[in-house]
Amino acid sequence: MPNYSRNFDKPRSNPDAHLASGFLPARILHLHPTRRCNLTCSHCYSASSPHQDSGVNPTLWAQVLPLLRREGYDQVSLSGGEPLLYEGLENLVSSAVDEGFRLTLISNGILLNKTTSQMNKLLKKLDGIAISFDGLAHRHDAIRGRSGVFQHACDAIMVLLDLGLPVAAAISVTHDGIEELPDLVYYLVSLGVTAVQIRPVAAAGRAALTPHSLITSNGDQLRLYLVVKALAVELASRVSVHGDLVPAGALWNQREAYRSLLAHSPMTGSPMPTLLSDLVNPLVITDTASMKPVAFDMHSDFDLGVLDQLSSPSFMHDYRNVGAVKLKELVHQALQSMALISGVVDWYDYLARSSHNSFV
Amino acid sequence: MPAVNPPAADVSKQLSKRLASHKLSQTVIDSLAKRVLIDDLVMHKFSPCIYGICIDYFSDKIPDLSKLSGRGVSRFEVFPYGIIDWDRFHVKVGFQVDELENQLARNAQLF
């Protein structure tokens, strides 16, 4: 799971702050190697389904992951689609482990109910696994369009715990799902998850086309923020609870986390960041091998290109002179707006929405 | 397989459950959020207490206490971390929250 838990509880005197690139605690490659999935969730931001193509050519990873490691990325976060359906998963995991990436994966848990020794071996190479949830049984199964999948997800937690692997829960919260969130979190903690990540459903992908009962309003997000804060305190002795929503003012106050990007100036060349991860974090790689900054649903005008282009000597030069400048302007404007907004924001979703608005 | 909810833990008395309940109107939530989200102060802990809700904030600059006025603050304390962390301040604030008073008074006894 992408660890989007920004460490806003630590002040800027954090000695590691100079290593930050944006609001993330690591430099993350968020990979969607396939959008093939055994479910068709009504809120899926990547519009994944069983009918999608197989995804990125598995042989590519051994070529591109070393290049991206040299660009400063240190964590690979695998999602999809259902990443366990990706035919090149072994290649991908092996290449990532060889390059020293920290490796996490988010799954709906269905395939984890019948693990083989080969899959167990692969799972043990991961540094973290998160099982995704959308609510208690009735809501979860309804959103995912198949009965019984809540139970499969819970069973998957038990399977992983039996293997001795730490398991997190990644919860997407809809407008209608806020009320049952505490019951869900307490139940998952009773099963043994070690961390809980909570995010509001974004109006992206399939969710943008579905009823408003899925999308959280600004008011819902305030409520969700307070609920997550309360859960974090109530469960502090047992698990870590993180939410993706952050007060806009806190983002504004910590804007210097983007100083590499904001200082980027191809005209003067100084101060010139040397790494792609100084400018783009997270870097999203889609099932069509496209590289996108920030989020899967960023406007395509912000795309960096495709993986094949990474090895080209001119790639970084071209991106610094055109793409990074465009991204800098977007982030700059979004940060400025944080000073004016009261309330809470899902920062990465805000950037993604802004990327589309800038072309309206 | 039919959708069956798991046996719920007894969380009915928890603050999280009360905040999540739509029985607590959006107006109350908006009003509460408006009071507890304070520029320059990063919320760390959020829990019921004898004042209503007590919040521990951190700040990396000397807190501007004028920002606390008009927010129903019953008590605040500021701890400079000093030599341990020269630019860190811990601000503890007790907010009077009339809307939750009855519920929280009961909860406070549990903490």
Helix (H, G, I), strand (E, B) or coil at B60: coil
**The pLDDT of residue A7 is above 50:** no
Among A176, A218, A233, A242, most B C-beta atoms within 10 A, so best to mutate, is A233
Domain count, chain A: 1
pLDDT of residue B65: 83
CA gap B66, A341 in Å, rounded: 20
- Residue A89 DSSP label: H
**B29 has a chain A CB within 8 A of its CB:** yes
* Sheet architecture: strand order including A283-285: A240-243, A195-200, A167-173, A128-133, A102-107, A75-78, A28-31, A283-285, A290-293, A305-306
Of A11, A147, A230, the CB nearest to B19: A230
Of B5, B16, B33, the CB nearest to A136: B5
CA gap A174, A211 in Å, rounded: 11
CA gap B84, B80 in Å, rounded: 9
Is residue A107 a part of any domain in this protein? yes
Q: How far is CA A126 from CA A6, A70, A93, A105, A123, in A?
A: 21, 21, 8, 7, 5
**The pLDDT of residue A145 is above 70:** yes
Amino acid at B42: V
Instruction: Tell me the pLDDT of chain B averaged across its residues.
Output: 77
Is residue A321 a part of any domain in this protein? no
Which residue segment(s) compose the domain that A109 sits in?
A: 17-246+274-309
pLDDT in tens, B47-63: 888 888 889 998 888 88
**A227 has a chain B CB within 8 A of its CB:** yes
Element of type H or E holding A29? strand A28-31
Is residue A171 a part of any domain in this protein? yes
Phi-psi region of B49 (alpha: psi -120 to 50; beta: other; left: phi over 0): beta
- Residue A48 DSSP label: -
Interface predicted TM-score (ipTM): 0.85
pLDDT in tens, A318-360: 898 889 999 999 999 999 999 998 899 999 999 999 999 875 5
CA gap A280, A296 in Å, rounded: 13
**Given pLDDT bands bounded at 50, 70 and 90, which one contains residue A220?**
very high
Q: Domain B15-108 belongs to what architecture? A: 2-Layer Sandwich (3.30)
Average pLDDT estimate for A71-99: 96
Is residue A117 a part of any domain in this protein? yes
pLDDT in tens, A275-298: 999 999 999 999 999 999 999 999
Is residue A356 a part of any domain in this protein? no
Mean pLDDT is lowest, of A18-32, A135-149, B79-93, for: B79-93
> Burial of A134 by CB count in 10 Å (0-12 exposed, 13-18 middle, 19+ buried)?
buried
Q: How many CB atoms lie within 10 A of CB A43?
A: 22
- Residue A24 DSSP label: B
Contact list, B44 vs chain A (CB under 8 Å): 9
Is residue A329 a part of any domain in this protein? no
Which structure tokens are listed for A159? 């399977």
**The pLDDT of residue A18 is above 80:** no
Residue A183: closest CA among B29, B107, B6:
B6
**The pLDDT of residue B11 is above 60:** no
Q: Do A229 and B37 touch (CB under 8 A)?
A: no
Cα R_g (chain A), whole angstroms? 20
Omega before A273 within 30 of 0, i.e. cis: no
**B90 has a chain A CB within 8 A of its CB:** no
Is residue A316 a part of any domain in this protein? no
What pTM value is reported for the model? Answer: 0.88
Q: How far is CA B52 from CA A235, A343, B96, in A?
A: 20, 21, 5
Contact list, B46 vs chain A (CB under 8 Å): 226, 229-230, 232-233
Q: Do B29 and A150 touch (CB under 8 A)?
A: no
CATH number of the domain where residue A180 is located: 3.20.20.70
CA gap A199, A224 in Å, rounded: 9
**Given pLDDT bands bounded at 50, 70 and 90, which one contains residue A17?**
very low
CA gap B88, B82 in Å, rounded: 7
Q: How many CA atoms lie within 13 A of A5 on its CB side?
A: 17
Nearest residue on chain A to B29, judged by CA atoms? A223
> Burial of A211 by CB count in 10 Å (0-12 exposed, 13-18 middle, 19+ buried)?
exposed
**A324 has a chain B CB within 8 A of its CB:** no
First to last CA, chain B: 40
Element of type H or E holding B49? strand B42-49
Cα R_g (chain B), whole angstroms? 17
Which structure tokens are listed for B25? 């109107």
Among B13, B27, B28, B46, most A C-beta atoms within 10 A, so best to mutate, is B46
Q: Do A223 and B11 touch (CB under 8 A)?
A: no
Q: How many CA atoms lie within 13 A of A83 on its CB side?
A: 29
